[in-house]
Amino acid sequence: MSPNLKLHYFDFPGRAEATRLMLNYGGIPFEDATFQREQWASLKPKMPFGQVPVLEVDGKMLAQTSAIERYAAKLAGLAPADPWEAAKVDEAAAYLTETAELFMPTFAIQDAEARAKARQELCAGPLKEKFARMAEMIEAAGGEFLGGPKPGYPDFALFSFVSWLVCGAVDGMPSGLLDAHPAIKAHHNRVAALPTVTKMYESVTEGPRLSYKPLP
Amino acid sequence: MSPKLKLWYFNLPGRAEVTRLILNYGSVPFEDYTFTFEEWNDIKAKANLPFGQVPVMEVDGKMLAQSSAIERYAAKLAGLAPSDPWEAAKVDEVLGFVAEANDLFAATYGIKDADAKIKARQEVCAGPLKDKFAKVTQMIEAAGGEFLTGSKPTHPDFVLFKLTSGLVGGTMDGVPTDLLDAYPVIKAHHNRVAALPTVAKMYEKVTEGPYLAYKALP
User: pLDDT digit string (tens) for A161-182?
Assistant: 999 999 988 999 988 899 999 9
Angstrom CA distances, A88 to A93, A129, B72, stand at 9, 20, 11
What confidence score (pLDDT) does residue B182 get? 97
Do B77 and A83 count as a contact with CB atoms less than 8 A apart?
yes
Q: Please report, rounded to a whole number, the percentage of residues in chain A having pLDDT higher than 90.
A: 93
A129 in B contact zone (CB under 8 Å)? no
Which residues, other chains included, contact B196 with Cβ-Cβ below 8 Å and sequence gap of 6+? B25, B153
Strand order in the sheet with B31-35: B31-35, B5-10, B56-59, B62-65
B209 min Cα distance to partner chain A (Å): 31
Task: Spell out where chain A has E strands.
Answer: 5-10, 31-35, 54-57, 60-62
Give the nearest partner residue to B73 out of A62, A83, A93, using CB atoms: A83
Cα angle B159-B165-B166, degrees, rounded to a multiple of 5:
90
A204 min Cα distance to partner chain B (Å): 32
> Which residues 177-206 on chain A approach chain B with CB closer than 8 angstroms?
none
What confidence score (pLDDT) does residue B107 get? 82
Do B50 and A91 count as a contact with CB atoms less than 8 A apart?
yes
CB contacts, 8 Å: B85 with chain A: 71, 74-75
pLDDT at B170 over 80: yes
Instruction: Give the ipTM.
Output: 0.92
Q: What is the pLDDT of residues B129-155, one digit of tens each?
A: 999 999 999 999 999 999 999 999 999
Do A84 and B92 count as a contact with CB atoms less than 8 A apart?
no
CB contacts, 8 Å: B90 with chain A: 62, 67
Q: What is the pLDDT of residues B72-121, one digit of tens each?
A: 999 999 999 999 999 999 999 999 999 889 889 988 988 999 999 999 99
Burial of A167 (0-12, 13-18, 19+ CB in 10 A): middle
Rounded Cα gap, residues A166 and A177, in angstroms: 8
What confidence score (pLDDT) does residue B103 get? 87
B36 min Cα distance to partner chain A (Å): 25
CB contacts, 8 Å: B72 with chain A: 86-87, 90
Mutate to test the interface with A, among B58, B72, B102, B159 (most CBs of A within 10 A): B72
A74 min Cα distance to partner chain B (Å): 7
pLDDT at B36 over 70: yes
Average pLDDT of the residues in B65-76: 97
What confidence score (pLDDT) does residue B38 get? 96
Average pLDDT of the residues in B20-43: 97
Size of interface A-B (CB pairs under 8 A): 79
Do B92 and A74 count as a contact with CB atoms less than 8 A apart?
no
Task: Say how many CA atoms lie within 13 Å of B132 toward its Cβ.
Answer: 22
What confidence score (pLDDT) does residue B102 get? 85
Burial of B26 (0-12, 13-18, 19+ CB in 10 A): middle
What confidence score (pLDDT) does residue A204 get? 96
Give the nearest partner residue to A67 out of B70, B72, B96, using CB atoms: B96
pLDDT at A42 over 70: yes
Which band of pLDDT confidence, cut at 50, 70 and 90, is reported for residue A1?
A: low
Give the nearest partner residue to B89 out of A67, A90, A94, using CB atoms: A67
Do B89 and A68 count as a contact with CB atoms less than 8 A apart?
yes
CB contacts, 8 Å: A54 with chain B: none
B71 min Cα distance to partner chain A (Å): 9
CB contacts, 8 Å: A106 with chain B: none
Mutate to test the interface with A, among B53, B64, B92 (most CBs of A within 10 A): B92
What confidence score (pLDDT) does residue B1 get? 63
Which band of pLDDT confidence, cut at 50, 70 and 90, is reported for residue B217?
A: very high
Q: What is the pLDDT of residues A126-161, one digit of tens each?
A: 999 999 999 999 999 999 999 999 999 999 999 999
By the 8 A CB rule, do B159 and B165 touch?
no
What confidence score (pLDDT) does residue B52 get? 92
DSSP states along A53-110: -EEEETTEEE--HHHHHHHHHHHTT-S-SSHHHHHHHHHHHHHHHHHHHTTGGGGG--
By the 8 A CB rule, do A49 and A74 touch?
no
Average pLDDT of the residues in B16-42: 97
What confidence score (pLDDT) does residue B210 get? 85
Give the nearest partner residue to A63 out of B51, B70, B93, using CB atoms: B93
Answer positive or negative: Cα dihedral of A181, A183, A189, A191. negative
